[in-house]
Amino acid sequence: MGSPPSEPGVEAGELERLRTAVRGAGVEPGLAWVLPRLQRAHRKDLIRRERWTMGDLARHPEPRELIRSVRRPGNMDENGRLIRVFDARRVLVEDVHENRVVRYVVQAVRGRLVALAVEGDHEAVTLLRELDAAVTNAPFLRTVGDLDARPTVPTATLSGDPLYRSVFRTWLALDR
């Protein structure tokens, strides 16, 4: 007995959804257009990182941590200066929820395209190349971690920012 007649339609529908995800449709942009633009305007957070630093190199020692530094055994030189200080630095990080959602959507689309490409679908191979080129133009995704759970509810950024909104809509269309 042959395969059910609905299978080719499902595959064609899947390919159409993936084509829309990568290239866009109508006024909705695809990942190939969005990712390079997100590279220039992606979300970052300023966080505090604390660590022990040489006393002369400390930039923002916390007053309460200075007491900790003074009490640390062997942390004073012969002139009574602190050798190491617990210092707080502020750094920009790209590993935020919205960027994790973008990475998750890209991985989901890529995984589906790879599955179709393995089956020998030439358009899937072309779409996969387009997506990989867009990912190459968005290197910030390399520093982004994995998403904890599937995205179901948009944050203010995912629903407000046009670039993030189009990525989230892409996910909703694929998740149907």
Structure confidence by residue, pLDDT tens digits, 100-139: 999 999 999 999 999 998 888 889 999 999 999 999 999 9
Task: State whether 111 and 89 are in the same domain.
Answer: no
Tell whether 82 is covered by a domain.
Answer: yes
Task: State whether 83 and 70 are in the same domain.
Answer: yes
pLDDT in tens, 129-161: 999 999 999 999 999 999 988 888 888 888 899
Q: What is the mean pLDDT of the chain?
A: 85
Q: Are 68 and 88 in contact (CB under 8 A)?
A: no
Task: State whether 73 and 123 are in the same domain.
Answer: no
Task: State whether 27 and 114 are in the same domain.
Answer: yes
Tell whether 13 is covered by a domain.
Answer: yes
2: pLDDT confidence band, cut at 50, 70 and 90? Answer: very low
Tell whether 1 is covered by a domain.
Answer: no
> What DSSP character marks residue 83?
S
∠ at Cα 116 (110, 117), nearest 5°?
85
Using the 3D structure, point to which of 93, 125, 155 is the last residue of a domain.
Answer: 93
Range of the domain at 49: 45-93
| Domains: count for the chain | 2
Residues near 115 by beta carbon (within 8 Å), at least 6 away in sequence: none
Tell whether 37 is covered by a domain.
Answer: yes
Q: How many residues does the chain have?
A: 176
Tell whether 140 is covered by a domain.
Answer: yes
What is the percent of the chain with per-residue pLDDT over 70, rounded to a whole number? 91
Which pLDDT value is given to residue 114? 94
Going by their DSSP bridges, the two strands 28-29 and 24-25 should be labelled as antiparallel
Task: State whether 107 and 142 are in the same domain.
Answer: yes
Which pLDDT value is given to residue 12? 67
Task: State whether 136 and 75 are in the same domain.
Answer: no
Which pLDDT value is given to residue 11? 67
CA distance 111 to 118: 11
1: pLDDT confidence band, cut at 50, 70 and 90? Answer: very low
pLDDT in tens, 22-80: 999 888 899 999 999 999 999 998 887 777 777 767 776 777 777 778 888 888 888 88
Task: State whether 109 and 38 are in the same domain.
Answer: yes
